[in-house]
Amino acid sequence: MMSDNNYKFGLVTEGATDQTILKAILAGWTGNKKLITKELQPKPEESGGWAKVFQYCESLEFKGAFAYYDFIVIQIDTDFMSGDSVGEAYKIDSKDLDVKETVGTFREKIIELIGEDFYDEYSQRIIFAIAVNEIECWLIPVYFSGKKAKKNVNCIDTLNQVLPQKEGFYIDAKDDIYYRKLAKNFRKKKDIEKHAKQQESFSLFLDNLQSTIETAT
């Protein structure tokens, strides 16, 4: 392991825009603007999606990545379970669960896919970024306060109510140029902490990130 904020992070995510947000959070949280991060899934110019996150976690490539990276961050949004295309092997029963329970249930499914023996060996190097319902919800406190800052449904639509006036664009098309602009809100650790206090799944990710780093140092 390398010292403190010079770790290498591998990113397993649904898409490029998720990677953009996570890179900004990791750099802001560690205070290292030159933090080494690598897109493992999807790779640049490749398509993504929740199914590919699960498939990657089951793969030999995932297991081999620990030879090159200090930590692997696994990101997934929980909203995909509302669709009808989820195969039986990937089914997750999160009905009527609160945020913490939902994150825990998705985490258990990912551990199952990784394999419990392998997870037990490498658990101190795996960080879960499970966003309820979508990672864009973590941006809601940047633009809203009070009760609305805690909103975690229809977050893209909610953001699009204010982004045209405040930033000059919408994010329906998942354009990474716009997400890089949004990610600038996570440059400083104090801002990350402030926003995460309003979004429980964001806060759970930071807790996991911090405890994992502390264990490694």
Which positions of the chain have pLDDT values less than 70?
1-5, 82-84
> CB atoms < 10 A from the CB of 12, how many?
27
* pLDDT 10s digits, 53-63: 999 999 999 99
* pLDDT 10s digits, 56-86: 999 999 999 999 999 999 999 998 876 667 7
Q: Quick one: tokens of 165?
A: 């006036």
pTM above 0.85, yes or no: yes
Which pLDDT belongs to residue 4? 52
Which pLDDT belongs to residue 90? 84
E-strand stretches of 59-208 = 71-77, 126-131
Coarse DSSP helix, strand, coil percentages of the chain, rounded to the nearest 5 percent: 60, 10, 30
With vertex at residue 87, the alpha carbon angle to CA 86 and CA 88, rounded to the nearest 5 degrees, is 120
Pick the closest to residue 34 from 66, 16, 13, 8 (CA basis). Answer: 8
Which pLDDT belongs to residue 2? 46
Q: Quick one: tokens of 25?
A: 């959070």
